[in-house]
Amino acid sequence: MIKRRKKTDFLRFLALLFVLFGMVHFYLYFFTPRLISPLFRFGVLEKEYNILILGTDFNFDLESHRRSAGRTDSILFLHYKPWSQKFHLLSIPRDSYVNIPGYGLQKINSAYVLGQINLIKETVEKLLSKKIDRYVILNTGLLVKTVDLVGGINLYVDRDMNYIDNAQKLNINLKQGYQHLNGTQAHQFIRFRHDAMGDITRVERQQVFFKALLAKLANPFQVVKAPMMLKIMRENLETDLSLRETVLLLNSARMMGRDDLKSFLLPGNTIDNGPGNWFINQPEINKLMLESF
């Protein structure tokens, strides 16, 4: 009788521990997911992914998808490591001179114009010696609406930015300093490139922006906005990611800690380190890809 009572008490104790563990895990999962060991996370990507992200000013709708065409304004290569659940982001300057298959040495941002998504995928794969698993083409509407949805982002504007381009419908007016930006202001921040290093400085600002946005998305109170986020994505991007992959990718990003996203710039240089064309350094690219991607 005593032995049976002890066994019953022990089982109750184990059950209590299990319930407590479940409650703690549930709390951490929704409010501080980055504190959960990658071994105990669920609802995340479980295999390695290489994703090509193209930023454009294209317009999309639910019926015809792309309604306009043009050059890719931003080119990013995102690598996901499932064993550590970390992301590595490589920025490829749009004025990088590369060998475009069938067209020779040209700026990489013309690859999309010449052959749409298949040609720019092939170009990046040959440049990086990496297979691209999925692609995402997004327009500025996604950026603006996402930043507004999460309540804006906080970041440091490194200089006064004043620039007007009526042809591109750009009216940039930002003051230097640490500040809270809404969607339109964030768009201005990542589009500005009128300083000494031109597009290279703009790429660096884009990396600052992405880190600030991902940090905001990681806030547990943003989880309730997931349905609205998916709607915005559907209306403002084209991708071959499945719905399941998209949800898992967003959840994986939500669980990132401050150091779980590392950003890199495609190795290269400009003449006399001035603005303009970006001449790649292929040996350094190969080394970077081997060590970090």
Backbone φ and ψ for 83, nearest 5 degrees, come out as: -70, -30
Q: Where are the domains of the chain?
A: 2-31, 46-292
| Mean pLDDT of the 161-189 span | 84
**Residue 23 pLDDT:** 40
Using one digit for the tens of pLDDT, what is the confidence trace for 125-155?
Answer: 999 999 999 999 988 788 889 999 989 999 8
Using one digit for the tens of pLDDT, what is the confidence trace for 262-284?
Answer: 889 999 988 655 556 889 999 99
Alpha-carbon dihedral angle through residues 245, 251, 254, 257, given to the nearest 10 degrees: -90
Above 80 in pLDDT, residue 35?
Answer: no
User: Contact 261/249 with Cβ under 8 angstroms?
Assistant: no
Using one digit for the tens of pLDDT, what is the confidence trace for 2-25?
Answer: 555 555 554 554 454 444 434 443
Contacts of 192 (CB under 8 A, 6+ apart): 161, 163, 172, 174, 202, 205
**Residue 280 pLDDT:** 92
Q: Which two tokens stand for residue 63?
A: 């019926």
**Residue % of the chain over a pLDDT of 90:** 32
3-state SS of the chain: helix, strand, coil percent to 5? 45, 25, 25
Residue with tokens 């990396």: 207
Residue with tokens 């298959």: 101
Above 70 in pLDDT, residue 1?
Answer: no
Q: What is the CATH number of domain 46-292?
A: 3.40.630.190
**Residue 199 pLDDT:** 72
For residue 83, count other CB atoms closer than 10 A to its CB: 8
Helices (H), 129-242: 140-149, 183-191, 199-217, 226-236
DSSP string, 223-237: GGGHHHHHHHHHHHE
